[in-house]
Amino acid sequence: MANQEICRLLDLTGKVAAVTGAASGIGQGIARRLAEAGAFVALLDIDEVRGEATAAELREISGASLFYKCDVTNARDCERVSSAVYGDWGRIDILVNNAGVVRRKNVVDLTEDDWDLVIDVNLKGVYLVSKHIIPYMRKDGGGSIINIGSGWSLKGGPDAVAYCASKGGVANLTRAMAIDHGPEGIRVNCICPGDTDTELLRSEAVQLGADMDEFMREAAARPIKRVGRPEDIANAALFFASDMSSWVTGAALVVDGGGLA
């Protein structure tokens, strides 16, 4: 029988979680894991079809989930949706800033439009959604914010200047937010995934003109010899969302099968 104290620490029953980029990939995996732990999950994404389908799936797990169409690069959208989530659920305990895009180019070949897109989605999006949700968390005495960075938050990578810049920014933004909002009972942490088998990862192979099978074999070349799965990242998110990590803030947790070791 599982230890009751451990179960209590991981139990999210009655908590409300907002997850950006939740219609697919890592965001969807995190939303599912939080629902399995008992949370009510608000799914934020620009993909209405898959967002609504994911919400329907999660309602079978936790009994409550809603989809909200949201462009994380648009300040008015973020303010509107944050207000709607709080209005519908009466609280927001957990925020997962996961929405992201990648453009695999060096600084010479990258267009200004692509630079703006990656920085806006990956970094500005974290700022905008957090800006509008933190006041609700503050009102109710605290919460947990989980920012999704990357292994390239902590080191450089080839042909990915905008992505590396944005994810490096996410890691240090996390630290600054943890300092500012810790006294308000809000913990802010960052997960730094390695290559995880999602549409986003596979799109990188297409952008680079690489053979997909070879690209995925290279992605698996790490001490634990496989690419990540969304549930690997979701398990780390559950740790940060739960009382298991009640004295952890400002941290960057690498979840990459040893790729940075």
Active-site annotation holder among 86, 127, 136, 163: 163
CA 59 to chain centre: 20
Decide if 260 contacts 254 (C-beta within 8 A).
yes
Return d(Cα 31, Cα 19) in angstroms, integer.
Answer: 6
Q: Would residue 163 show up in a list of annotated catalytic residues for this protein? A: yes
Decide if 235 contacts 243 (C-beta within 8 A).
no
- The Cβ of residue 206 has, within 10 Å, a number of other Cβ atoms equal to 11
Q: Say which residue the tokens 């680079």 belong to.
A: 208
DSSP 74-101: -HHHHHHHHHHHHHHHS---EEEE----
Which residues are identified as catalytic? 163
